[in-house]
Amino acid sequence: MKFYLFISLIALSLVAKAEGEGNFAADKKMMLENMSKQIETMKSNMSCVESATDMPSIKKCHETAKAEREKMQAEKTKMQTERINENIKKLEEKKKNLELKK
């Protein structure tokens, strides 16, 4: 849980740092949604472990939680890749415009 809070704080600081860029309201909404997903995942994993009766049950809980974390990480990576590609396109357009002005 501390890990997710730490990551959330880092993400908030990065958004605050880049406040002038992008759409603040949309970024904030997306971050809150991601935090809610993380909290729900942690609660689900917690209840799974609490209801476990033996080590194989706990292992199953761990595997389920790990799969969910990997899914969330894949979504995050996809979004980052899309943003990077958008930025590359913008930079290429700027470069093209600068070359035309010369």
Contact 42, 26 (CB under 8 A): no
Classify the C-alpha dihedral 72-75-81-84 as positive or negative. Answer: negative
Give tens-digit pLDDT for 6-19. 565 566 556 555 44
Q: What pLDDT does residue 73 have?
A: 92
63/57 Cα distance (integer angstroms): 10
pLDDT in tens, 34-62: 899 999 999 999 999 999 999 999 999 99
